[in-house]
Chains A and B, each alone.
Chain A
Amino acid sequence: MEQDFDWLQLNTRQIEQHLKSAVDTLTPNILDRIDLSDPQELIPEEANHAVILRLQRRIRRIAMTAAACVCLTLIGGGAFHYHLENRKIESVIGIDVNPSIELSINRKEVVLEARALNADAENIIHDMDLKGVDLNVAVNAVVGSMVTQGYLDDLENAILVTVSNDSVRKARELRSSVVGDIERTLKENQVEAVVYDQQVIEDEEMEELAKRYGISYGKAYFLKELIDQNEALNIEDMEELSSMTMEEIARKITESSYELGELADRVKETESAAETTRAPETTASEPSAEGSSTEEETTEVSPTEAETTQAPETTKETVTEPETEEDTVEIDYVDYEDGMVYVYFADRVKWNNPSVVVRDEEGNSYAAMMDETSRNECSFEVSGLEGGKSYVFVLGGLAAKNSDVSTTVKGYFDKPEVADEADDEFKKDPDEEETDESKGEGQDASIEETEGTNAPAESLTESESTAEEKTEEQDEADDERAEGGPEDGKAESEPEDLTEQ
Chain B
Amino acid sequence: MPLLPAAVPLSWYLLLSAVLFSLGVAGFLFRKNIITVFMSIELMLNAVNLSFIAFSYHLKQVDGQIFSFFVMVVAAAEAAVGLGIILTVYKNRSTLEIDEIDSMKN
Same complex for A and B? Answer no
B residues near A, CB below 8 A? none
A residues near B, CB below 8 A? none
